[in-house]
Structures are given as structure tokens and as C-alpha cells.
Structure 1
Amino acid sequence: MYLNRPPYSYRNDHEIPAFTDIGPVCVMDAHCALCARGAKWIAHNDRNTDFKIVPLQSELGRALMTHYGMDPEDPTSWLYLTEGRGYASLDALIRVGHRLGRGWKLLAILRLIPQSLRDILYRSVARNRYRWFGTADLCNLPDAEVQKRLMV
């Protein structure tokens, strides 16, 4: 889902701390094991070391979520920023796959699912992620590739 805001609109939002936005930025739940696996997937497939990962629970993560109209206290999705535009839900995942290249571009097949169904599917997984996948501490993962990308 494209979050309808002008490109780089967060730069004019005084509630958002300054951050380096060159390259893609993923705002992810730092307590979710599924998100931690997602961060590892991104880190190990990002050949150019372009991606930055922002924990949802950080000041920056909360501010970005709020800017895009998402509730940081009850996140049912994650936020992906690229070229100053925000994306959420499975659309964000599709765009990450496209950016990572190679076989990950096949995630575009998810576009065959109608948008409303994609959103329902994603929300269902997001609401149950702790129960199905458990918890983790993204910021304390021993994975050096993830640690290089974290913006806390």
C-alpha cells in the first residue's frame, strides 16, 4: 500500500529527528521474531549495503510511523521508505524484493492478489506474529550484517 504523502515530506515534519535517508529505510518492530528474520533476510541479500533498519520502538521509528498515519503502539504493518516515499503491508515487501534483485523480484507475483485481500492477509499475520513466531530483540541480534544497518 502506497502511503499518500509527497516525496520526502518527512523532512519538513519537525517531529521527526534528522536521519540519513539516502537509500531505502525499513521501520520494523524490534520485538517481533518475524521482523528480526526479515531484517536478517534484508541484510544478507542487500549486496550494496544500501538498506537501513529503524526499530519501530525508537524515537525515529515512532515519528516516521506517526507521520505516515500509522499507530506505533499498535503496528499492523511495517514501513518501507524509498526515494522519499512510504509503503506498507505486502506492497512494501514486494518493493524490497525488487530492490534486492535476483530471484527476490519474484515477490512481485503477490501483485496478482487484489489489494484488499493483500491487506487483509498482511494484517492477519501482523496481528498474530507474536503468537505464531514469538518475540526477539532486533537491536541485540548477534548478526553483524543487521547491526551495520541499524539506526537507533
Structure 2
Amino acid sequence: MPDASAVILFDGVCNLCNGFVQFVIRHDAAGRFRFAALQSEAGQALLRQYQLPTPTEPDSVVLVMDKRAYTHSAAALQILRGLGGGWRWLAGLGLLVPRRVRDAVYRLIARHRYRWFGRQEACWLPTPALRARFL
């Protein structure tokens, strides 16, 4: 289970990604997860630290937890596990699907996310109450 050092890196201009962050905030009552846009200085520093590519158009949510970085479907499923309850059960079901298949579906959605869900001109800014959870 993630601790306070669990950080979710997300595409700050993607509407789907911002919706996912808000979903996590709503379901993470314990406040275990922190957040950073992939485009931010903190996000770029974490990508470099874990030797992950820094593409101009991010293609994956990244979870940094327990000195390890998860990407694509593994990141999404680890985040769901960390939310506990029924989400943990759903993540367990997702892990039964071979990673190659999960990641293929993930990449398909990622490739079309701007067209299907739209994008913003600038990164979403958290409210003052949530600001402490963002790097």
C-alpha cells in the first residue's frame, strides 16, 4: 500500500488525466498519493531520477512508489490498489489480464485521449486546500 511518498505523475493538459487525478483525490481519503504534472519541474526531475523518457507528448501516467516507477497499465492498477476497498479488488482482476494486452489497450486510449476527451491550454491548478498534495 502506498505511503506519503507515492507520487502520481500525469499529463497536466489532458482532460482524461485531470479527471483521473480528481477521481483519485475523491477516493483517497487518507491522502496517500501526491501529484505532479509530467510537464512540471518536479515531474521532469522524477522522470530523470527514474531514467524514464521525457517525451514532448506524455503517453503514460507514472506512479513513483517504494523507490520504483510504474508506467502504463501497471501504474493505473497500482493506483487503484492503493485506493483500497472495491478498487483493490478491481485492480486484482485487471492484473489477471496479461500485461501485453493491458498495455496495448492503455496505449490505444492514450494515443486518442486528446481527440476523445480534449485538452487544456494550461495545466490544471489545484485548490488551496489541495495544493499541499501537489509537488
Q: Give the TM-score normalised by structure 1.
A: 0.76
Letter in 2 for 1:107: A
Unaligned runs of 5+ in 2: none
Q: Does the alignment pair 1:116 with 2:100?
A: yes
Q: 1:38 maps to what in 2?
A: 20
Contact preservation (8 Å) 2:11, 2:38: yes
Q: 2:133 and 2:119 mapped to 1: Cα distance?
A: 20
Once the two structures are superposed, the pairs formed by residues 71-110 of structure 1 within 5 Å of their partners are 71-105=54-88, 106-110=90-94
Quick one: structure 1 residues 138 and 60, their matched pair in 2 at CA, closer, same or farther if it must change by over 3 Å?
same
Per-residue deviation, 1:24:
0.8
- Cα deviation for residue 82 of structure 1 reads 1.0
**Once structures 1 and 2 are overlaid, which stretch shifts more, 34-43 or 74-83?**
74-83
- Give yes or no for the alignment of 1:60 onto 2:42: yes
Distance 1:108 1:70, change over 3 A: farther
User: Cα distance 1:71–1:44, how it changes in 2: closer, same or farther (>3 A)?
Assistant: same
Q: 1:129 is matched with which residue?
A: 113
AA aligned to 2:72 is S
Cα distance in 2 for partners of 1:28, 1:86 equals: 13
Distance 1:117 1:143 in 2: 39
User: 2:124 maps to what in 1?
Assistant: 139
Q: Percent identity?
A: 32
Report if aligned partners of 1:40, 1:143 keep a CA contact under 8 Å in 2: no
Q: Which amino acid aligns with 2:28?
A: D
What secondary structure is seen at the aligned counterpart in 1 of 2:12? Answer: coil
TM-score under structure 2 length normalisation: 0.85
Contact 2:73-2:99 at 8 Å conserved across structures: no
The total of aligned residue pairs comes to: 130
Q: Contact 1:54–1:61 (CA<8 Å) still a contact in 2? A: yes
The root-mean-square deviation of aligned C-alpha atoms, in Å, is: 2.0
| Equivalent pair of 2:4/2:34 in contact (CA under 8 Å) | no
